[in-house]
Chain A
Amino acid sequence: QVQLQESGPGLVKPSGTLSLTCAVSGDSITSHRWWTWVRQPPGKGLEWIGEIYHSGSTNYNPSLKSRVTISVDKPRNQFSLRLTSVTAADTAVYYCANPSEMALLWWGQGILVTVSS
C-alpha cells in the first residue's frame, strides 16, 4: 500500500511561487509508476495538474503548463510541485496521488495553500 504525504507552506503571496513536496512510503519512487498532482479550489471540483515518472518524464495540464514544474528526488523518495506567478485563483487543496489502471488509486491527505498578501 502506497502512502503519500504533502508538505509545504500554507500561505503564498500573489505573484510568488508555490512549492510543495510529496513524501512517498510503502513503495519506491523508482517503481513503474507515475506520480501525480491534483488540486481542488475550496468548494469546487478536481483539476489534474501533472505527473512525473521516475526517469524524469513529465506530462502537464495544458492550462497550467507554462507555470508548472514537477520534479522527482529519488534518494529522498519524494516528488515536488512548483507553480510560479500564483494568483488567488491558485488557492486550493493540493493533493499528490498515484495512478493505477488509468485512475488515481492512492491519495495524500491534501494540503490547503492560500494565495494572499
Chain B
Amino acid sequence: EIVLTQSPGTLSLSPGETATLSCRASQSVSNNYLAWYQQKPGQAPRLLIYGASSRATGIPDRFSGSGSGTDFSLTISRLEPEDFAVYYCQQYDSSPLYSFGQGTKLEIK
C-alpha cells in the first residue's frame, strides 16, 4: 500500500502570494496517477489536477501540479480569497485503488 504524506499540515499565506503544497509517496506512483483536490467546509472535494500535472476542466491556470515518482507538488499562484481551503493529494494504485494524503490546510495569514 502506498502511503501519501502531505506537508505542511497548515500553510498561512496572504492573498496574492504563492502557495506550494507537497505530497510525498512511500513508493513510486504508477504512471504518475496523482491527483489534487480542494475541499471547502461542508462541501465535497473538487478535482483540481489529475495525472500529476493536468488541470481538470474549469480549473484556473493559477493552479499547477508537478512532480513524478514519489515527490509531487501543487502550486497556487496569486492566491485569491476563495483558494483558502483544505487540499488533498490522491494516488491510484493496486490496493487500495485510491488512497489520500492527510491534507494541507491553507489559511489566511
Contact = CB atoms under 8 A, between A and B. Distances in A.
A100 B54 CA distance: 12
Contact of A102 (B92, B96, B99): B92
A48 B50 CA distance: 17
Interface residues of A, number: 22
B30 to A, nearest CB: 9
Interface of A, secondary structure class, is strand
Interface in A14-65: 36, 38, 45-48, 51, 59, 61-63
The 9 closest A-B pairs by CB, nearest first: A103-B35, A102-B92, A103-B50, A107-B44, A48-B98, A102-B33, A46-B100, A61-B96, A101-B50
A104 B90 contact: yes
Contacts of A104: 35, 37, 45, 47, 90, 98
A25 to B, nearest CB: 16
Interface of A: 36, 38, 45-48, 51, 59, 61-63, 95, 100-105, 107-110
Contacts of B69: none
A102 to B, nearest CB: 4
A48 B97 contact: yes
A62 B35 contact: no
Interface in B74-109: 88, 90, 92, 95-103
B97 A59 contact: yes
